[in-house]
Amino acid sequence: MSRDRVVDVATRLVEEHGPDALTMRRLSQELGVAVTAIYWHVGNRDALLDAVVDRLVADMGTLRPSGSSARERVTSLAEKLRARLQARPHLIGLAHERGRIPDMFLPVEQAMAAELARVGVSGKDAALALRAISAHVVGAVLLERAAGRGGPEIPTGLVWPADASDPELVEALATPPDRDALFALGLNALVGALVPLEDAERAVP
């Protein structure tokens, strides 16, 4: 029994069932200890929720870029951020409730800013680039989540004239969208417009 063990189990409960599932009684049952032992290690439920969010923030700081160029490394960070947000909706919601979203995004934004600085993008231009990429990531995740709850969806089955000049287009629009492909297309367009090529890349014919 330790503080880390308490926070581990609390994080799992929130991740799997949402913040409302995290009660001190349920947590004590999961841990096989008295409720008083939990209070001794982490304090009250409010303090425990803060500890769970702290753990999430620290976890977001483990995202590392991959690739050899600034464009590749910024793209990889955005992709990894999207995957992490998709995987932990309840924890992200808890972080939002407790006003910690800026803290959660800070490590990724700092890593992206470092890559932008490598190719001479700084100041207001870097801020605009970071916001545009973050908006693309968050917008994609929110749309996917809303669609999963029966909310707004990218339209399919659009009614085009039977004699449309591009039947392949009409057929493709009638099928569900490939969300990964859509995200990648938008991200690559953004990064291509916002992150300059490096000298070695410009030298390639």
Could you name the CATH architecture of 3-58? Orthogonal Bundle (1.10)
**CA–CA distance, 11 with 128 (Å, rounded to integer):** 34
Encode pLDDT of 23-77 as tens digits.
Answer: 999 999 999 999 999 999 998 999 999 999 999 999 999 999 999 999 999 999 9
The yes-or-no verdict on residue 124 having pLDDT over 90 is yes
Query: Can you read off the two tokens belonging to residue 20?
Result: 């409302």
Angle between helix 101-118 and helix 45-60 axes, rounded to 10 deg: 10
In this predicted structure, what is the pLDDT of residue 189?
A: 96
pTM score of the predicted model: 0.85
Q: How many CB atoms lie within 10 A of CB 155?
A: 8
Domain boundaries, the chain: 3-58, 61-202
Do domains 3-58 and 61-202 share one topology? The answer is no
> Cα dist. 20→13, 27, 50 in Å?
9, 12, 14
Would you call 121 helix, strand, or coil by DSSP?
coil
Encode pLDDT of 29-38 as tens digits.
Answer: 999 999 999 9
Q: What percent of the chain has pLDDT over 70?
A: 90
Encode pLDDT of 133-187 as tens digits.
Answer: 999 999 999 988 887 766 556 666 667 776 678 888 888 887 888 899 999 999 9
Which residues, at least 6 apart from 25, have a Cβ–Cβ distance to it below 8 Å? 35
Is residue 180 classed exposed, middle or buried when 0-12, 13-18 and 19+ CB atoms within 10 A define those classes? exposed
Which residues, at least 6 apart from 161, have a Cβ–Cβ distance to it below 8 Å? none
Homologous superfamily assigned to 61-202: Tetracycline Repressor, domain 2 (1.10.357.10)
Which residues, at least 6 apart from 61, have a Cβ–Cβ distance to it below 8 Å? 107
Q: Which residue has the higher pLDDT, 155 or 2?
A: 2
